[in-house]
Amino acid sequence: MPISLDDPKKFRSLVGQAHQVAMNMLRPISRKYDLAEHEYPKELDMLAAMIDGLAESGASEGAGAAGVRRDDKQDDGSGTQSKNGANLASVMSIQEMCWGDVGLLLSMPRQGLGNSAIASVADDEQLARFDGVWAGMAITEPGTGSDSANIKTTAVLDGDEYVLNGEKIFVTSGDRADHIVVWATLDKELGRAAIKSFVVPKGTPGMRVERLEHKLGIRASDTATIIFENCRVPAENLLGSAEVDPKQGFAGAMATFDNTRPLVASMAIGCAAAALDLTRELLADAGVEVDYDRPAYTQPAAAAKFLQLESDLEGARLLMLQAAWMADNRKPNSLEASMAKAKAGRVGSDVTLSCVELCGAVGYSETELLEKWARDSKILDIFEGTQQIQQLIVARRVLGLTSNELK
């Protein structure tokens, strides 16, 4: 099945609208909420209302969180129809929004990472019941880092409820979201297969936000530590099937990551693209023009470096589009999702830091947003699986080895 490298025509209007929002709504308040850490950006309420209106009219495919559905029939690759759907539209529009501000994008109501988990794992009844919620996602725990399979938060069935106990850290939108998707194990002895996701409404007894973190970047976004102490959740809030299937293993969790990793890649690409656009302007003001019709070695060192950064970012963008396109076409995309996340995360940090360097004192000062973008981009190489974790996943997929065979 062929892949066209041109942006799908049906999404160009959506992408253009996202860029206008980024330029006219997010970029002007970017520094304000970077300095006012933990203050909720009230301007986003109006933007969320606009997105809801578009969704109801059917004009915003991809404006919200999409999912990678493992229970749908996979394409065997023999067909000729290529679908450009919600996953591709999501990464394209999110890229543009993060050209405006990553932290503000992560603060958008009803667009939390937990929404992607619901879209990927929930059954039809749950999709309808949780439609319209704003869900954060609680995975990371003290001592587990990127090893999501080593989750220690427990979920014990008691009648028609599960009782959750544990601590989650670095929960994006953990204070502002109205629901939290919590990853917990039904039985530590059964390993990965026993890890399930639970939707917990805020205000549920036994659940409390312990603290908000002060961070290097994405300061507009709240990041919380959440404690669960005998927190009782209705059994029907377990996403998907409660059956523990050793053959399926970590599939439910990985379906979520297969969706969110291309999204995080798109955030890194959007932030880095913003840095390149401004750097090109600042270089031109300093008399350094980037000439695309001449070999890099014949141009000033700053122009040659700029061309190298731009080409690296384009490679990451194409990997991101491929991973999202495969999800739209019901193709297994775990390898491609991790490749996109690894490439974009590393390149995004390299591009933003290099732009600070190329612009000298202007890049390092707060007169421009370059230093902020360098701070914001680093988290995009860390959360949803670090660079090292992505490379490990890629190696396992390429070599055909299990997690026990290659650690």
Q: Which residues are catalytic?
A: 384
Q: In Å, how far are 8, 217, 325 from 13, measured between CA atoms?
A: 10, 30, 18
Q: Are 193 and 246 in contact (CB under 8 A)?
A: yes
Nearest partner of 165 among 208, 222, 201, judged by Cα: 208
Read off the tokens for 155: 């979920």
Taking the CB of residue 302, how many other CB atoms lie within 10 A of it? 17
Which ranges in 226-296 belong to alpha helices (H)? Answer: 251-285
DSSP β-ladder status, 135-138 and 195-201: unpaired
Q: Are 321 and 295 in contact (CB under 8 A)?
A: no
| End-to-end CA gap in the chain | 34
Read off the tokens for 30: 């970017």
Q: In Å, how far are 120, 133, 203, 238, 359 from 123, measured between CA atoms?
A: 9, 16, 24, 10, 50
Phi, psi of 292 (to 5 degrees): -85, -5
- CB proximity list for 227: less than 8 A, separation 6 or greater: 167, 207, 208, 210
Q: Are 27 and 54 in contact (CB under 8 A)?
A: no
Task: List strand residue ranges (DSSP E) for 251-383, in order.
Answer: none
CA-CA distance, 135 to 112, in Å (whole number)?
5
Q: What radius of gyration, in Å, describes the C-alpha atoms of the chain?
A: 21
